[in-house]
Structure 1
Amino acid sequence: MSFLRRLVRPRPTLRLRLTLLYGAVFMLAGLCLLGVTYLLFNQQLTNTFESRFAAPPGRFKQLIFVENGVKLTGDAAYEWLRQQELKLRGAAVTSLLTQGLIALVVVGAAAVLLGWVVAGRVLRPLHQVTETARRIAAAPMAERGLHERIALAGPDDEVKTLADTFDTMVERLDQSFDGQRRFVANASHELRTPLTLNRALVELAMHRRTASAEIKDLGESLLEINARHERLISGLLLLARSEQEVADRSPVDLADVVTHVVRQTAADAHESKVTVYEVTAQAPTAGDALLLERLVHNLVENGIRHNVDDGTGWVRVVSRTVAGESGGLAEVEVSNTGPSVPPYDIPQLFKPFHRHGAERVITARSAGLGLSIVRSVTVAHGGDVRAQPREGGGLVVTASLPLAPH
């Protein structure tokens, strides 16, 4: 619909406006020049006639003409000469205006064409700035696109100053995002050690012979809280790692990953009274096998966790290949039963630490990073992830990755 509106009402570009401005200024200047030429030409004709045939003061000039055997003298000769002068002037003026306007139109068209070319060359650096900014804005994750620079070459003018300022701004943002990722990774590593120590001390206290039932109950609660913190820190580490583009890739068949993950989560599915259906077809791609396994694991785990608890819940995991614009896609689709999810809440599900529904409490098993990691891993592999509510409740989440040859 927007494309049709653009066809009906095309957006006037800066290049078009500059070209029209050049053309209008040229035509206005040409018309002024033609008008001045006409006035000068007309004045010159009048002065020439008066100087050649008018008598000077105090003198008398006799004019005698013979036309078609008829002799003209006095006022008749002068009137005949005046008529000839008017005809000559009219023909000259008509020729001047007609040919001048034709020449002005032709040269004006050439000037508009030249103005279009010149405007394009002048605006080319701005197009480079715009394209770079558009690529950065269109990058699935802003911090990944911030590695690009305009690096505009040319004279040190206003456009180059704009490009250099833009590069400086992007460089500072890139450094800020890199510092944030390093901080998350370093903090997560540093926090793992005390949590491991806490777990060991709690387990040691619980397994003492003199430990009372109250101590064991308290230890179980502390271990559960400690385990949640460990999952949170592991998720942060994985999220920081998955936000970096995967450089070392190896062939991975998503069908094998789905089969492996379904076996891994069988115990959780049985405990939650959820049936997992596996529908696999070859879906070859290339990437980090551990990250791709974590992607599928998080999707299946999310489908099991956010489900109904009456024993009728199910999760369906599908691997397949589909045709795409750039050679095809390898997809993993996970659908499940569960509570209804409003469409406006779906974009929030992929944000870190977002929990849906009743799991927005501090004691929840989920760290709120599952779908965030799914999105980061998918984007790091050059793919895309999308979700939509399933009719009757639950979600349908599809991760699409570039298809690799068999």
Structure 2
Amino acid sequence: MKRLPIRARLTVLYGALLFTAGVVMLALTYVLLGQRLGVKVLATYNRPPGSDLPNVEYAAKMPDQLRDAALTNLLTQGGIALVLVTAVAIAFGWLLAGRALQPLQRITETAHRIADAPAADRSLHERIALTGPRDEIKVLADAFDTMLERLDRSFDGQRRFVANASHELRTPLTLSRAVLEYTAHREAATPEVRQLTDLLLDINARHERLINGLLLLARSENEMVDQTLVDLADVVEHTLGLLGPEADKAGITVGCPDPAEAFTLGDPVLLERLVQNLVENGIRHNGDGGWVRVACRTLPESRVELTVSNSGPVVPRYEIPGLFEPFRRYGRERTGQDRGVGLGLSIVRSVARAHGGDVAADPRDGGGLTVRVTLPAAPLPHPS
């Protein structure tokens, strides 16, 4: 059973307390007034001249109309007044409870904005900054702001560390690749040296892809300021053209049978990398004679959808959440000889969330995956 909001509960509590106090007050007044009226009757209606009855006996025989009328009038008018005063008090109680709880509402709204952000760590710069006397609510708001500040510094420092470390590591990797390529192409190099050099070049290339992936991941987790109108259909067409040779070499059929316009706002480079990672993932985690199908469309609810399906080995549903974690690859260890580094789907999810969207994957019955990326739709451009 759903409980009433705290504002309504406080208002009901105020009204109930006031009504109860009013009923008790009205009852006490009724009793005291009844006793007082009885005394007045005894004092007023004394024995008339010539009567042999005592005062008490005479008063007992007097009619009760005056006393009953006074008490009935008290109950009627007092009850009406009590109802009116309670109604007014409930209205004022509702207003006062709302004013007293307004700082809590402000804290709740800030927490919801941070929680509902595409990437919550990018909204940690918000602060409640509550002003007023230092009461319990002010202490709570200040503690919340302090927590947000520490989390913001922690996430920002982590992003800077990844970006700086990646930049620092690219230089020695570039130098080592140049030295290895020079050694491999020397005429005096023996076949053993060239074989070892090729192996080292493959390892170096894998490390370069890892560093580039970390750089892209750090970039996609930062808030985007400049956004342009992008048609996902154009991005898909361009990406499939770039990955055509790799698909042909692997014997995988890649196609987008019916691309539809799907306009969104974002970074074209990051969106291209999102599509490229999904298609590459479908090519590399596939079987002989397999296929990859790409589709994009605009959904009715102001969203655009990119779908990438591929054949391949059967993936258990419980393994899918781990595929979006960094350095996690289903069925392969980090030391394997595959070309991936375990950042492909992590980058896809990060880019999607940076654009206000999300990504989900479902296993296919015959093997492989179907990955769906949804992004906010942008208004269609007007023809010139």
Q: Same fold (TM over 0.5)?
A: yes
Partner AA of 1:152 in structure 2: L
Partner AA of 1:387 in structure 2: A
Report the counterpart of residue 158 of structure 2 in structure 1: 180
Report the counterpart of residue 10 of structure 1 in structure 2: 2
| Structure 1 residue 132 displacement after superposition | 0.9
2:293 aligns with one of 300, 308, 316: 316
1:368 aligns with one of 339, 342, 361: 342
Measure, in 1, the Cα distance between the counterparts of 2:60 and 2:117: 81
- In structure 2, the gaps of 5 or more residues are none
Q: Does 1:63 align with 2:63?
A: no
Runs of 4+ with deviation above 6 angstroms: none
Q: Does 1:387 align with 2:354?
A: no
Q: Does 1:216 align with 2:194?
A: yes
Aligned with 1:184: secondary structure?
helix
Measure, in 2, the Cα distance between the counterparts of 1:76 and 1:12: 64
Aligned with 2:254: secondary structure?
strand
User: Are the aligned partners of 1:249 and 1:287 in contact in 2 as well (CA < 8 Å)?
Assistant: yes
Alpha-carbon displacement from aligned partner over 1:249-306 (angstroms, at most 9, x marks no partner): 2222221211111111112111221100123222222322211111110010011111
- In structure 1, the gaps of 5 or more residues are 1-8, 55-61, 65-71
Fraction of identical pairs, as percent: 57
Alpha-carbon displacement from aligned partner over 1:41-78 (angstroms, at most 9, x marks no partner): 12322332344456xxxxxxx424xxxxxxx8222885
User: Are the aligned partners of 2:118 and 2:357 in contact in 1 as well (CA < 8 Å)?
Assistant: no
1:113 aligns with one of 86, 91, 107: 91
1:274 aligns with one of 252, 256, 279: 252
Aligned with 2:309: secondary structure?
strand
User: Are the aligned partners of 1:359 and 1:366 in contact in 2 as well (CA < 8 Å)?
Assistant: no
| Structure 1 residue 196 displacement after superposition | 1.2
Alpha carbon RMSD of aligned pairs, Å? 2.1
Q: How many residues align?
A: 379
Spell out the pairing of 1:17-28 with structure 2 (5 A cutoff): 17-28=9-20
Measure, in 2, the Cα distance between the counterparts of 1:244 and 1:136: 15
Structure of greater Rg: 1
Measure, in 2, the Cα distance between the counterparts of 1:116 and 1:364: 65
Alpha-carbon displacement from aligned partner over 1:141-167 (angstroms, at most 9, x marks no partner): 221121222222344332222212211
Aligned with 1:399: secondary structure?
strand
User: Are the aligned partners of 2:119 and 2:354 in contact in 1 as well (CA < 8 Å)?
Assistant: no
Measure, in 1, the Cα distance between the counterparts of 2:313 and 2:52: 115
Alpha-carbon displacement from aligned partner over 1:173-231 (angstroms, at most 9, x marks no partner): 11111111000000000001111122222223333333222222222221111111110
Q: Does 1:133 align with 2:111?
A: yes
Measure, in 2, the Cα distance between the counterparts of 1:30 and 1:163: 38
Report the counterpart of residue 196 of structure 1 in structure 2: 174
Q: Does 1:292 align with 2:271?
A: yes
Aligned with 2:256: secondary structure?
strand
Measure, in 1, the Cα distance between the counterparts of 2:63 and 2:143: 69
TM-score by length of 2: 0.92
2:37 aligns with one of 40, 45, 51: 45
**C-alpha distance 94-394 of structure 1, shift in aligned 2 (>3 A):** same
| Structure 1 residue 239 displacement after superposition | 0.6
Report the counterpart of residue 58 of structure 1 in structure 2: none
